[in-house]
Amino acid sequence: MTVDPRKAALDDLFRAVSALAPHLHSADDLATLSRLRTEVARLASPGSPSSPGLHNFDPTRFQRLIDLTGPALAGTLLLQLADDLDRCRTLALTGAEDLNWDALRESSHILISLAGSVGALSLQAMAETLNTAAHGQDATGTRQLTPGLVAELDALIALVRATPAPDARVE
């Protein structure tokens, strides 16, 4: 098995940027961190026709989740996932608008898990950054991060809604 040196280097860079997150607190630093994550994600995935708007999306994770659920429950999973993502979107938007730190922490915490589970890696990284900003009650950083996070979240919601459930018929 040959390791792609470019992919390995980008993976290392992504881990390094993520390791830096807990040590940054100012709005400018958090905004820079968000841009770094976005750029690393862009370099790692220069665009995928199956996932417009998602900068770093691993479709194999998403498919594996659907496969693990099985055809009988995959439709329910997709509906619940779309509902949960919609709820995170609403909480993030209202939380950022009202500077409701509890709502922002809740939405970002849930989104970290959901995005990671479905392979939306850049969205997961943005949610981690938003969570850090919310814990630090960083109003400027929160407002700077929210538009990009919501754009990726909208793309993921659209992808989930457009995904057909596998056929549950038993033959």
Global pTM value: 0.69
Helices 5-20 & 27-44, crossing angle to 10 degrees?
A: 160
Please state, in angstroms and rounded to a whole number, the distance separating the CA atoms of residues 122 and 151.
11
DSSP string, 48-95: -TTSTT-SSB-HHHHHHHHHHH-HHHHHHHHHHHHHHHHHHHHHHHHH
> Low-confidence residues of the chain, pLDDT below 70?
1-4, 34, 38, 40-52, 168-171
Give pLDDT, residue 62: 92
Collapsed DSSP state (helix, strand, coil) of residue 138: coil
Give pLDDT, residue 18: 74
pLDDT (tens digit per residue) in 128-166: 999 999 999 999 989 889 998 999 999 999 999 988 888
Please state, in angstroms and rounded to a whole number, the distance separating the CA atoms of residues 150 and 103.
15
Give pLDDT, residue 4: 67
